[in-house]
């Protein structure tokens, strides 16, 4: 099938529907340059389907995602299931986790009318662009990335997928000509790889990709409730260490009550010398939408035990509507799958013309 010379909606949908047929590789015409207005902005970010997010995910990323969909004209959020299989996954559990993540994102405030919400593996353009960019990436460049160093040490050896997933991450971003990417500090070097690959591709084949810029969250990292030297994580072996956004009020209160603090009763904010108490202050300030100073002021006259009760109430108040909405959405998996399918169609409408340009410039058609 030839790539269309003029891309209108009907022809693009016909192209998408027949994308997986062998004829698609017999491209003899060139897709026109993307007609996106110069200087326009597009946000892209992705999250792995690891079930429901925890409090740190919500405060550090998802809250920001909700804000960004009102600030930028074009926003895409992907459930990046291709990335998730760098670690062994149970297929049935992965399917369930994809739906749970979709429900969680919607419950947190992601609006499919404002942002394109889609499942990464259902947009095969990601994989093809990843291969092309991988051929422009050196092995030493990947070896120096922090995630590979950390995870390969943990497993004594890592898979090829784990080694090359930053290239797929770059493809995720560049495929939509994204200009801005919300990231945590631990992902900045991976975004730099995407910037480098945009420059390298543009140098070899002519300007096509903008260099995406990082949007760093101003929210402090939420730490483990049992080990405030480490960030909160769902993979933590200690169940009391992590609050998920679907935890019951009773579970939230119990986990915060058992949070590690110290032997000083006064509530102060000093992450270096009092990391446990400071973590509670960070959580309190974030869920109550106040400054750290205001959170400390609210704790005046309370000892740490009483303050834990105050923090629990604030977290419960913030998460209860989200938990209830997730439960409602989970009860209708067909609705979730339909929303993801609609988002995937929108994502492919954007991705297909860009990949057509890439294929032509590389010399495939």
Residue 19 pLDDT exceeds 70: no
Q: Angle between the 146-155 and 160-174 helix axes, to the nearest 10 degrees?
A: 150
Residue 76, strand partner residues: 44, 116
**Annotated catalytic residue within 36, 114, 151, 221:** 151
Is 151 among the residues known to form the active site?
A: yes
One domain, residues 156 and 72: yes
Greatest Cα pair distance in the chain: 75
pLDDT of 234 reads: 87
The DSSP output letter for 222 is: P
Assess if residue 5 is contained within a domain. Answer: no
The pair of three-digit structure tokens given for residue 89, joined into one six-digit string:
């996954």
User: Does a structural domain hold residue 52?
Assistant: yes
Q: What is the pLDDT of residues 114-163, one digit of tens each?
A: 999 999 999 999 999 999 999 999 988 888 787 666 665 555 567 888 88
Do 288 and 315 belong together in one domain? yes
Catalytic residue among 36, 114, 221, 234: 234
Does residue 359 belong to any structural domain of this protein? Answer: no
Residues 85-108 have a mean pLDDT of 96
DSSP assignment letter at 59 = I
pLDDT band at 38; cut points 50, 70, 90 = very low
Give the CATH number, domain containing residue 100. 3.40.50.620
Range of the domain at 254: 239-330
Q: Given the structure tokens 């409408």, which residue do they identify?
A: 349
Q: How far is CA 5 from the centre of its chain?
A: 34
- Are 177 and 270 in a shared domain? no
CATH number for the domain including 279?
Answer: 1.10.240.10
Average predicted confidence (pLDDT) for the chain: 88
Q: What is the distance of C-alpha 77 from the center of its chain?
A: 7
Point out the domain boundary residue: 163, 186, 221.
Answer: 221
Percentages (nearest 5) of helix, strand, coil residues in the chain? 55, 10, 35
Instruction: Domain count for the chain, please give it.
Output: 2
Instruction: Tell me what pLDDT residue 184 has.
Output: 80
- The answer to whether residue 155 is catalytic is no
Indicate if 61 and 151 belong to the same structural domain: yes
The answer to whether 269 and 292 are in contact (CB under 8 A) is yes
If pLDDT is split at 50, 70 and 90, which confidence band does 309 have?
very high
In the predicted model, is pLDDT for residue 233 greater than 70? yes
Same domain? 77 vs 140: yes
**Averaged pLDDT, 190-194:** 92
Residue 348 in any domain: the answer is no
Exactly one of 177, 231, 255, 308 is catalytic; which is it? Answer: 231
pLDDT at 34 over 50: no
Q: Do residues 69 and 176 share a domain?
A: yes
160/286 same-domain check:
no
CA 230 to the chain's CA centroid: 20
Q: Is 223 a catalytic residue?
A: no
Residue 37 has pLDDT above 90, yes or no: no
């Amino acid at each position: 099938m030839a790539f269309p010379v003029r891309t209108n909606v009907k022809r693009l949908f016909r192209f998408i529907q027949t994308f997986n047929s062998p004829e698609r590789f017999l491209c003899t015409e060139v897709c026109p340059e993307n007609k996106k207005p110069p200087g326009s902005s597009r946000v892209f970010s992705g999250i792995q389907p690891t079930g429901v997010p925890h409090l740190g995910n919500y405060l550090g990323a998802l809250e920001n995602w909700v804000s960004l969909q009102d600030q930028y004209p074009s926003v895409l959020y992907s459930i990046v299931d291709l990335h998730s299989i760098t670690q062994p996954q149970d297929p049935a559990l992965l399917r369930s986790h994809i739906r749970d993540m979709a429900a969680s994102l919607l419950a947190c405030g992601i609006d499919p009318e404002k942002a394109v919400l889609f499942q990464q593996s259902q947009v095969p353009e990601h994989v093809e662009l990843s291969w092309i960019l991988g051929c422009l990436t050196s092995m030493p460049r990947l070896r120096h990335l922090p995630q590979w160093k950390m995870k390969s040490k943990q497993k004594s050896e890592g898979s090829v997928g784990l080694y090359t997933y930053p290239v797929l991450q770059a493809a995720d971003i560049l495929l939509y000509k994204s200009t801005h990417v919300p990231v945590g500090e631990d992902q900045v070097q991976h975004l730099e790889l995407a910037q480098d690959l945009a420059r390298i591709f543009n140098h070899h084949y002519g300007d096509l990709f903008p260099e995406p810029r990082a949007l760093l969250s101003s929210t402090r990292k939420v730490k483990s409730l049992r080990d405030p030297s480490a960030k909160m994580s769902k993979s933590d072996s200690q169940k009391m260490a992590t609050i998920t956004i679907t935890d019951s009020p009773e579970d939230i209160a119990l986990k915060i009550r058992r949070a590690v603090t110290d032997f000083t009763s006064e509530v102060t904010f000093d992450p270096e010398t009092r990391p446990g108490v400071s973590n509670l202050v960070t959580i309190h300030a974030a869920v109550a939408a106040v400054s750290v100073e205001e959170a400390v002021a609210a704790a005046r006259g309370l000892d740490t035990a009483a303050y834990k009760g105050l923090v629990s109430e604030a977290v419960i108040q913030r998460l209860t509507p989200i938990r209830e909405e997730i439960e409602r959405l989970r009860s209708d998996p067909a609705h979730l799958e339909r929303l993801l399918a609609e988002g995937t169609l929108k994502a492919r409408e954007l991705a297909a013309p860009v990949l057509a340009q890439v294929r032509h410039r590389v010399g495939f058609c």
